[in-house]
Amino acid sequence: MKPKLLLIDGLNLVRRLHAAVPGEAAEDLKRRCLGALDKALRQHKPSHAILVWDGGHERSWRRALYPEYKAHRKPMPEDLAKALPLLDDGFAQQGVRSVKQADLEADDLIATLASKVADAGGEVVILSTDKGFGQLLGAGIGQWDHFEGHWIDAELLAAKLGVPQPRLLDYWALAGDSGNGIPGVPGVGKKTAQDLVARFDSLKAMFAEDAVEGKLGERLRSHQDEARLSYRLVRLKKDIQLQLNLSQFRLGRHP
């Protein structure tokens, strides 16, 4: 039987639950987190599950490449930071082990784990609301919005962002992502990025001489380095060397 892996974006889940009831006691937050875990396990019935924590973006390869990456994000609330070890222990008591690697973001760990399992013929469910995982969706990999209770699929992404799912990286390379401090091309907003993606089949084609006329064309050609940098920043790594074996994360029977 092929494995079915549930990958839980730990901070995405916990931050959302914490924000819903700010200031609550750590034990109460733990109880709600474990309730969310139990619901996910019952709903998706995975054979394996991994809770993936962020190792920190402050010293990640993205910050080294572009110092402004996530530089303006607010720090984690102190009470949540103190509660994380308790939450991690609670998940472990439920049979879900965690993975964290220093200086690596959870997104890249999830992308690598998901790709390896899917490439081997397994099924993967990514539990997260992060739109960046949209680039991974395809054969064997799906994304579930735990809070809204629906799949985040290619059709939904295309409706929300206005570009086909296979062109998400090109779109973000042009429009940037202000939430993560990714620059994109100065002066190119979402609508312009959508139009360019619809007109051209690649970034390279957009940057060709005379491909785009007028001031917009000049802007694209003069800022193509920023676009290519942004593309690298939004693209998730799928080839991180992990000293892990999927058998370590097999679940016991869950009613």
State pLDDT tens for residues 200-241.
Answer: 999 999 999 889 999 999 999 999 999 999 999 999 999 999
Report how far residue 249's alpha carbon sits from residue 41's, in angstroms, rounded to the nearest whole number. Answer: 13
All structural domains of the chain with their residue ranges: 4-152, 162-234
Residues 6+ apart with CB under 8 A from 221: 207, 209
Q: Does this chain's domain 4-152 share its CATH topology with 162-234?
A: no
Report how far residue 7's alpha carbon sits from residue 249's, in angstroms, rounded to the nearest whole number. Answer: 11
**Superfamily in which the 4-152 domain is placed by CATH:** 5'-nuclease (3.40.50.1010)
Q: Is the confidence at residue 255, as pLDDT, over 90? A: no
**11 token code pair:** 């901070």
Q: Is the confidence at residue 254, as pLDDT, over 70? A: no
Inter-helix orientation angle 10-20/26-44, to 10°: 130
Q: What share of the chain is helix, strand, coil (3-state, %, to 5)?
A: 50, 10, 35
Q: Are 4 and 48 contacting, i.e. CB atoms less than 8 angstroms apart? A: yes
Four-point Cα dihedral 233, 239, 241, 243, nearest 10? 120
Q: What is the pLDDT of residue 72?
A: 87
Four-point Cα dihedral 229, 230, 232, 234, nearest 10? 170
Q: What is the pLDDT of residues 84-109, one digit of tens each?
A: 999 999 999 999 999 999 889 999 99
Q: What is the pLDDT of residues 17-54, one digit of tens each?
A: 999 998 899 999 999 999 999 999 999 999 999 999 99
Q: Is the confidence at residue 56, as pLDDT, over 80? A: no
Report how far residue 229's alpha carbon sits from residue 117's, in angstroms, rounded to the nearest whole number. Answer: 29
Q: Are 115 and 126 contacting, i.e. CB atoms less than 8 angstroms apart? A: no
Q: What is the pLDDT of residue 253?
A: 54
Q: Are 116 and 144 contacting, i.e. CB atoms less than 8 angstroms apart? A: no
The band of 65, judged by pLDDT with boundaries at 50, 70 and 90, is very high
Report how far residue 168's alpha carbon sits from residue 131's, in angstroms, rounded to the nearest whole number. Answer: 10
CATH number 1.10.150.20 is the correct assignment for the domain at 162-234: yes
Q: Which residues pair with 145 in a beta bridge?
A: 150
* Best-predicted range by mean pLDDT (53-62, 178-187, 246-255): 178-187
pLDDT average, residue stretch 180-187: 94
Considering only residues 103 and 193, tell me which one the structure prediction assigns the higher pLDDT.
193
